[in-house]
Amino acid sequence: MSYTVNCSILLTDLPLLERPAAAKAAGFDAVEFWWPFAESVPADRDVDAFVRALDDAGVQLSGLNFNAGDMPAGDRGLVSWIGREDEFAQNIAVVAAIGERTGCRAFNALYGNRRDGHRPEAQDELAVANLVAAAEGVAGIGGTVLLEPVSGTEAYPLKTAQDALDVIGAVRAAGPQNIALLADFYHLAVNGDDVGAVIEAHAAGFGHVQIADAPGRNEPGTGELPLQRWIDRTYELGYTGRIGLEYKASQPDPFAWLARAASA
Ligand SMILES: O=C(O)C(=O)CO
């Protein structure tokens, strides 16, 4: 099993550009990030600094989120956001360019919250068009777009694996096949999905897996989820990717649970 450290939620006591090296020092070879810039189209020097931080640390960027808006303010993606289509199109080009430079091939496109003033159907229509564009935009580098059910934001409409799979089906019907489910076991469990059944039905096709325990979204072992069992079964059923560590650290050493789990 191989892990990738989500450096947007872990190691946050360090400046962002120091986190890849900290992940490497903690024993990891791969990291993932939510969109690490303030704008959809950051300055070249900011992209260069980000890529340099990864190179200098000697870690692989295994996953990157498209710009999802102002996450601390509650935004959860631009994909279905009517009025920001041009910005999202520009973001796709930047994401693909970062993928080309770093070897990253998995790109998480958060769907976006429901917004007042537009019919949900119109937001869903835009989402499919934007996801088609995103998939086409990263196809040239062999990239895959990931679609993730998320918890904690009532306005985010993709709550269960099936919600995301329905959208993935619509995108695939429109052409691109390089889009897959991001199964975050924490989000799915908190939303009341039957994670065990999702694994049985879809594990081989997961585009990526992320974990945190629930309640709390902290390290495995701090809550009630059978994460190890779910991970083992996911691999048994044919998943070959990494497991993203996307939890909030509840202790000074965010990775201490791994040593405990290995000796258990
Ligand atoms: O917003 C979140 O909680 C996410 O997991 C984004 O990838």
Per residue in 209-243, pLDDT (tens digit) is: 999 999 999 999 999 999 999 999 999 999 999 99
3-state helix, strand, coil in the chain (%, to 5): 45, 15, 45
Q: What is the mean pLDDT of the chain?
A: 97
Mutation probe of ligand 1 site: the residue of 12, 35, 75, 148 with most atoms within 8 A of C-beta: 148
Please tell me the distance between residue 264's alpha carbon and the centre of ligand 1 in angstroms: 30
Encode pLDDT of 101-125 as tens digits.
999 999 999 999 999 999 999 999 9
Which residue minimizes the CA distance to atom 2 of ligand 1? Answer: 150
At what angle are helices 85-102 and 44-57 packed, to 10 degrees? 30
Please tell me the distance between residue 116's alpha carbon and the centre of ligand 1 in angstroms: 22
Q: What is the DSSP letter of 69?
A: S
Whose tokens are 């050493």? That residue is 253
Q: Report which ligand 1 atom has the smallest distance to the Cα of 151.
A: 3
Residue (of 195, 56, 59) closest to 211 by Cα position? 195
Which residue minimizes the CA distance to atom 4 of ligand 1? Answer: 150
Residue type, 197: A
**Domain of 21, in residue numbers:** 3-263
Note if 148 is an active site residue: yes
Please tell me the distance between residue 150's alpha carbon and the centre of ligand 1 in angstroms: 6
Note if 246 is an active site residue: yes
Please tell me the distance between residue 156's alpha carbon and the centre of ligand 1 in angstroms: 11
Count of residues in the chain = 264
CB burial string 189-213: b at 16+ within 10 A, e below:
bbbebebeebbeebbeebbbbbbbb
pLDDT at 14 over 80: yes
For range 1-5, the mean pLDDT: 89
Number of domains the chain contains: 1
Model confidence, pTM = 0.97
For range 152-177, the mean pLDDT: 98
* Contact residues of ligand 1, CB 6 A cut-off: 34, 65, 76, 108, 110, 148, 150, 184, 246
Encode pLDDT of 59-79 as tens digits.
999 999 999 999 999 999 999
| Cis status, amide bond into 215, omega within 30 of 0 | yes
Which residue minimizes the CA distance to atom 7 of ligand 1? Answer: 34
CATH number, domain with residue 193: 3.20.20.150
